Amino acid sequence: MSTATELTPDQVSARLAELTVIDVRTPGEYAAGHLPGAHNIPLDLLDAALDVLRTAAGRGDLVVVCASGVRSAQARERLAAHGVPAVTLSGGTGNWTRLGHDVHRLAGARPVWAMERQVRLAAGALVLAGLLTGRRWAAARWLSAGVAGGLVFSAVTDTCGMARVLAKLPHNQPRAIDLDATLTALGG
């Protein structure tokens, strides 16, 4: 593998047959559209797949993908800390589709909003609820302050607790994640 930390969509597309693509988004996001041949290992389950990913990286280049590149960069850093070389897809699946590359969808999958969009909706709704309720009950404004503080913390640490919570909601889980089947497919 080269020393690059990311590949462009065109570079990945040209080499797709020889790359192992790991999609670290939620199962719902993955089902709604993923790179052809991508394997879904959500970011929160990445540690359980380290041994298999190390083996897969030994056979060829590993590309980690998410919606925008943020979660895949976190995954790449986590993998690197465990001695597993990987690169990310610059701009994620959003950039991939924007440039006209094909995505595959699981049968029966319904469109799911990207996690970043879900976070913006939830955060905005909570801030608005805190402000509106705060007109009658001043203590409710603390809800808005708490969300604002969480957003600042999220930006500074490049993590998102709200995304972790939202990922567990039923609409983000249209199918059961079968990590064992994914790991078996990657291992052999």
Q: Which domain holds residue 39?
A: 6-110+176-187
**64 shares its domain with 100:** yes
Q: Are residues 14 and 96 in the same domain?
A: yes
CB of 151 closer than 8 Å to CB of 123: yes
Q: Do residues 24 and 99 share a domain?
A: yes
Structural domain count of the chain: 2
Question: Cα-flanking dihedrals φ and ψ of residue 157, to 5°?
Answer: -95, -10
Q: How confident is the model over 154-168, as pLDDT tens digits?
A: 888 888 888 888 888
Residue-wise DSSP of 37-59 = T-EE--GGGGGGGHHHHHHHHHH
Answer yes or no: do 76 and 119 share one domain. no
Check whether residue 103 and residue 146 sit in a common domain.
no
pLDDT of 110: 66
Q: Are residues 56 and 13 in the same domain?
A: yes
- 59 and 121, same domain (yes or no): no
Q: pTM of the prediction?
A: 0.71
Per-residue pLDDT of 104-154, as tens digits, reads 887 766 667 778 888 999 999 999 999 999 999 999 999 999 999 999 998
At 177 the pLDDT is: 61
d(CA 150, CA 109): 32
- 93 lies in the same domain as 69: yes
CATH of the domain at 32: 3.40.250.10
Which whole-number Å values give the CA distances from 61 to 6, 79, 105, 150, 173, in the listed order?
11, 13, 24, 36, 29
**What was the pLDDT predicted at 1?**
45
Cα 58 from Cα 42, distance rounded (Å): 21
Answer whether residue 1 is part of any domain: no
Same domain, 89 and 155: no
- DSSP-based three-state secondary structure for 93: helix
pLDDT at 21 over 50: yes
Tell me: do 54 and 143 sit in the same domain. Answer: no
**pLDDT tens digits for 40-64?**
999 989 999 999 999 999 999 999 9
Q: What sign results for the dihedral spanned by CA atoms 161, 164, 166, 168? A: negative
Q: Is residue 171 part of a domain?
A: no
Q: CB–CB of 29/67 below 8 Å?
A: yes
Domain shared by 19 and 106, yes or no? yes
